[in-house]
Copies of this chain bind each other. A is one copy, B any other.
Amino acid sequence: MSLASNSATEATIEGLRGLLGERLSTSMAVREQHGRDESWHPTEAPNAVAFASTTEEVAEIVRRCRASGTPVIPFGAGTSIEGQLQAVRGGVCIDLSGMDQILEVNAEDLDCTVQPGVRRKQLNDYLRDTGLFFPIDPGADASIGGMTATRASGTNAVRYGTMRENVLSLTVVLPDGSVIRTARRARKSSAGYDLTRLFVGSEGTLGIATEITLRLYGIPESISAAVVPFTSIEGAVDAVITTIQSGIPVARIELLDDVQLDAINKYSGLDYPVQPTLFLEFHGTEAGVAEQVRLFGEIAGEFGGGDFQWASQAEERTKLWQARHDAAYACKALRPGSEIWATDVCVPLSRLAECIAETREDLKSASMPVPLVGHVGDGNFHLCFLLDPNAPEEYREAEELNRRLVQRALAMDGTCTGEHGVGLGKLKYMADEHGEALAVMRAIKTAIDPDNIMNPGKMLPGTN
């Protein structure tokens, strides 16, 4: 499809100005700020940014955009990392950050309903007094709407699942401006197609979630976190695999290679041994946590694990996990002035050691630092290419390393992205991963968004 007609788009934007007043911006600074995410993908500014405040307003904006064939790009916190926000065909960006209300917490049902602009840390701050928490934690302080759109996960997924398992229901504005609710608040249902799961991970290409009902969990009676260095990355990975296969219900089990550990030490002012390292957390009753720790200790000993550094106090744990969540920023500091190209893949656990070993072998010849970090309990790991923004050859090199990483993961029955999403960055791998199933995805896209106004050019190759 071609770019939306300029005059029709301009007329739509003028109309939206009447609707939203100062909450419709066409200033270059605001547009550029909304035409990028935290990825290396170049900014592509939308024609205008609409700051929506209600579901009805989102619906009205979408209806008007549809009437003129104007693309619509939803925006939460801007923290995606595969080029999910670039306005490749122009259009109107709907900024949902102002829709940041926690609408209800049903403590008895262990669920809550929030607006899409709520940030994950905001939600957990709010929940603290209830004794509940929401576990999904991508590195950035992302919005719940964005996390829903990219099917985010993070460090707790090995125990609590990803957004796939933790969204109970959505209120969605469809491309025709109608508003649906994808499911009831019951924990399970066999009543029809699973629309909730269809919209989770759809990256804004099917509609815009304006209310999100999430599962919550009781804050465990006992939490204990530890940092454990290993003599080799293979040993660390094998310890993870054995832990998962033994059914030890670790809450978090994160791998950092020596490059990443060094980066974190420097960025966060820590002094962990510069070795391949696991960051772990155990949740349960006191007795349960003690048992998990004992069992994991035996496994770590078998695979070259060194001294455990424990963090049992909430404050120490927060510091530890903040350091882990800051991994990407720490990487950036490792090569001042560099730009980050973050990528991730996920493979069956039995192939993880092999996939990481081959990847590290491949990275030996890389001309830039490439820290490796991973949610290895899920078989998911990340690379972080640190690129000189003025060296296009480095981008070509990263592209090639990334391509080989993805092909390696696919050959092991893995996926081209475990949690970052497709955006623009993984578009080219969708056909290799899905084969003929891609035609089903396209048929669904066309059925729900026949005019292709919802975040066009993302996720599905050939739809821009």
Give the A interface residue count (CB, 8 A).
92
Instruction: Name which residue of chain B comes closest to A434, CB basis.
Output: B192
Which residues of chain B come closer than 8 Å to A152, judged between CB atoms? Answer: 190
Encoded as 1 (CB less than 8 Å from any B CB) or 0, chain A from 353 to 364 comes to 000000000000
- A334-380 residues with Cβ-Cβ distance < 8 A to B are 346-350, 378-380
- Say whether A433 faces chain B, with CB atoms less than 8 Å apart: yes
A210 vs chain B, min Cβ distance (A): 14
Question: Could you tell me if A433 and B188 are in contact, using CB atoms closer than 8 angstroms?
Answer: no
Question: Could you tell me if A416 and B191 are in contact, using CB atoms closer than 8 angstroms?
Answer: yes
The residue that A195 contacts in the complex, of B110, B162, B206, B437, with Cβ under 8 A, is: B437
- Say whether A319 faces chain B, with CB atoms less than 8 Å apart: no
> How many copies altogether?
2
The residue that A109 contacts in the complex, of B189, B350, B429, with Cβ under 8 A, is: B350
Question: Could you tell me if A190 and B414 are in contact, using CB atoms closer than 8 angstroms?
Answer: no
A254 vs chain B, min Cβ distance (A): 15
Contact segment of A86-94, A117-125, A241-249: A241-249
Which residues of chain B come closer than 8 Å to A438, judged between CB atoms? Answer: 192
Cα-based distance from A307 to B443 in the complex (angstroms): 58
Cα-based distance from A432 to B152 in the complex (angstroms): 32
What are 25 A-B pairs with beta-carbon distances under 8 A? Answer: A151-B188, A153-B188, A157-B188, A178-B439, A183-B415, A187-B349, A187-B378, A187-B379, A188-B346, A188-B380, A188-B419, A189-B417, A190-B419, A191-B417, A191-B426, A191-B430, A192-B422, A192-B434, A192-B460, A193-B201, A194-B197, A197-B197, A218-B245, A287-B287, A288-B291
